[in-house]
Amino acid sequence: MLKHIVLFKFKETSKKEEIETIISSFLNLKNKISTLVAIEWGENISPENFHQGFTHCFTLLFDSMEALLAYQIDTHHIAFQKVLLPHMEKVFVVDYLLEQ
């Protein structure tokens, strides 16, 4: 299994409703892309001040690197990116294989 961690820093000009639409669209990818096994998310609540402006964290689970690569070129993922990009200031991604 492979975990794909994505953190977003949204532009200050993005409204709460726009961010909520982005989150909903991202979570809905689970219903549209078969290689995406699971997705969970949360908003940063850490009392440590190391977030560097990243406010939202998403954890996606895939069966393999090949499944992640298929997800990345899926038309639904590409359409989601078009919704996200006008609001994204920065993104941070980490991928790792779960140790067995």
pLDDT at 99: 83
d(CA 80, CA 68): 15
Using pLDDT thresholds of 50, 70 and 90, give the confidence band for residue 96. Answer: very high
Domains and CATH numbers, the chain: 2-97 (3.30.70.100)
Q: Which residue has the tokens 């892309």?
A: 33
Task: Write out the two tokens for 45.
Answer: 């609540």
pLDDT above 90 covers a percentage of the chain that reads 97
DSSP the chain: -EEEEEEEEE-TT--HHHHHHHHHHHHHGGGT-TTEEEEEEEE---SSS--TT--EEEEEEESSHHHHHHHHH-HHHHHHHHHHGGGEEEEEEEEEEPP-
